Amino acid sequence: MSHDLDPPVAGPGLRELVDRLRVDPDDGFRLADRATEDDFGMTKDEALARLAASRSRIDVLQQRLHAEGERSVLFVIQAMDAAGKDGTIRNVLSGLNPAGIRVESFKAPAGPEAQHDYLWRVHQVCPPRGGITAFNRSHYEDVLVVRVKGFVPEQVWRRRYGHLRQFEQLLTDEGTTVVKVFLHVSADEQARRFQERLDDPEKRWKFRRGDLDDRALWTEFQAAYEDAIRETSTAECPWYVVPADGNSRRNMAVAEILRHTLEQLDPRIPEPEEGLEGIRIV
Ligand code: AMP
Ligand code: MG
């Protein structure tokens, strides 16, 4: 199992980088202690080279995971608006075999979703054996926006931390590796990106007036993220906090987290049938 980058490249090794971003359980996690910007000691080009290298490795490991057909990976991405959830998913997962990859996005629950418990819609779209599913927003919205906007009383959202831990434990026990990534962007960088969206006709559609209501609740959202991460980062289902003010390093770091997860899983291609070596196709 290879855990480091071969050939060696600028910046910390794969494991060191990933360890640095992980939130260990019970370490008194504080979001304010985490950077929104970090160049990891590499240039933009070096970050892009590492991203490309990790993507090719993820491709190989994903095919093995698919061939093995027993285990799966749930890759949760959470962030404030404009932190780059869509861009990260596009960059990290592009070029992979679409047969083994799914992306699921969660909006405010509507229709039957709103008529069931909050995990109902989530469980249905968890990855099948052999698959990798990325969640663009997730079950965590039910302790984030739902808390900040006061959609349910405190006693209701507070007990959800326990549900979330147990739900993810269930998935883990049954063969799904759960990894959670928070793209940590600064308020200043969000402002810059909102302005860019408004000024660019190709991007304006992404902006909703409601985004400014969420921005006005920045402090409350940060507090909700801090609590959610602290309460649900476990040894088996860890959170990673990725500095997200710079796109190339952000994408590289997220790719390395996924790569590291797959390296640890070390999926095995199935044993071929006996006696295939001698066969010559004519
Ligand atoms: P976007 O990701 O920008 O397309 O926006 C999706 C919106 O749906 C965000 O404002 C989320 O906060 C909201 N959302 C997602 N899940 C939930 C949920 N469980 N309850 C309420 N709002 C949600
Ligand atoms: Mg949005």
Against a cut of 0.85, is the pTM above it? yes
146 lines ligand 1 (CB under 6 A): yes
pLDDT digits (tens, 9 = 90+) for 60-96: 999 999 999 999 999 999 999 999 999 999 999 998 9
Q: What CATH number did the domain enclosing 68 receive?
A: 3.40.50.300
Closest ligand relative to 122 C-alpha = 1
Query: Does residue 259 sit within a domain?
Result: yes
C-alpha–C-alpha distance, residues 217 and 215, integer Å: 5
Considering the domain boundaries, does residue 57 fall inside one?
Answer: yes
Does residue 274 belong to any structural domain of this protein?
no
Q: How confident is the model at residue 26 (pLDDT cuts 50, 70, 90)?
A: confident
- Identity of the residue numbered 213: D
DSSP 125: T
Tell whether 2 is covered by a domain.
no
C-alpha distances in angstroms, 179 versus 43, 92, 182?
Answer: 27, 15, 10
In a domain, 7, yes or no: no
Joined tokens for residue 145: 């926006």
d(CA 14, CA 6): 10
pLDDT at 9: 75
6 confidence band (pLDDT: 50, 70, 90) = low
Q: What is the residue range of 44's domain?
A: 14-265
pLDDT tens digits, residue range 205-235?
A: 999 999 999 999 999 999 999 999 999 999 9
Higher pLDDT residue, 26 or 11? 11
Domain total in the chain: 1
Q: Is the pLDDT of residue 7 over 70?
A: no
Instruction: Tell whether ligand 1 has an atom less than 6 A from the beta carbon of residue 141.
Output: yes
Question: Is there a domain that residue 76 lies in?
Answer: yes
- Cβ of 99 closer than 6 Å to ligand 1, yes or no, is no
Q: Whose CA is nearest to atom 21 of ligand 1?
A: 108
